Amino acid sequence: MSHLPEDRSVDRRALLKGAAVAGLSSFFEPLPRLLAATPSQRDLIRAENERLGTTDWQLKTVRIDPRTRYRSPGIEGYCSRTSLRAGEKLQIMVSTNPPSPFLIDVYRLGYYGGKGGRHLQRMGSFAGRVQPDPQVGEERLRECRWEPAVEFAVPAEWPAACTWANSRPSATVCKAT
């Protein structure tokens, strides 16, 4: 004999309570993995962030084209991926107008004594070229389909983190991404 009520519909309060529990459980799911990090892993990141840092990763000189008020066609670029693991390949697409050589500096972002980043590698000089201007789409979105200027595999010795790549003309101190 069942002791369930005849009305089996779920009331609003029970539904919201269940949704809240499900939401919180998905929020806390990665917590055990983070807490389970070995002391050596935590020490590795702490030691990395204690290394000498730089603020050179920040864009300090941006030259916006007065005709467009949005772009800096002197040098523009983007990366093929936003997240990679060691050994995976990254392509960096760059357009320079007029065609001119450029360098790429890669930084790891982190605390670094409050500087915010550490220089990992300088690549280049590369021969820049003008890439096609994409059409302006909805909400000023432009979808570039440029040819890669450089492709490289992420070295195994680079510590896991958020990284930043600046491209800059070889002849000046202007930086752009």
pLDDT tens-place string over residues 42-78: 677 788 888 999 999 888 777 777 777 777 778 888 8
Taking the model in full, what pTM does it have? Answer: 0.65
Do residues 150 and 118 make contact, with C-beta atoms less than 8 angstroms apart?
no
- 108 closest CA partner among 24, 69, 52, 66: 52
Nearest-CA neighbor of 78 among 28, 142, 29, 125?
A: 142
Angstrom distance (rounded) from CA 73 to CA 53 = 30
- Which pLDDT does position 172 carry in this prediction? 34
Mean pLDDT of the chain: 76
Mean pLDDT of the 16-38 span: 54
| Chain segment 128-159, per-residue pLDDT in tens | 999 998 888 888 888 889 999 999 898 888 87
**Which phi and psi angles does 58 have, rounded to 5°?**
-75, 145
For residues 32 and 46, what is the distance between their CA atoms, to the nearest angstrom? 20
The two tokens of residue 22 are 């499900």
CA dist., res. 17 & res. 23, Å (int): 10
CB 146, CB 93: distance < 8 Å: yes
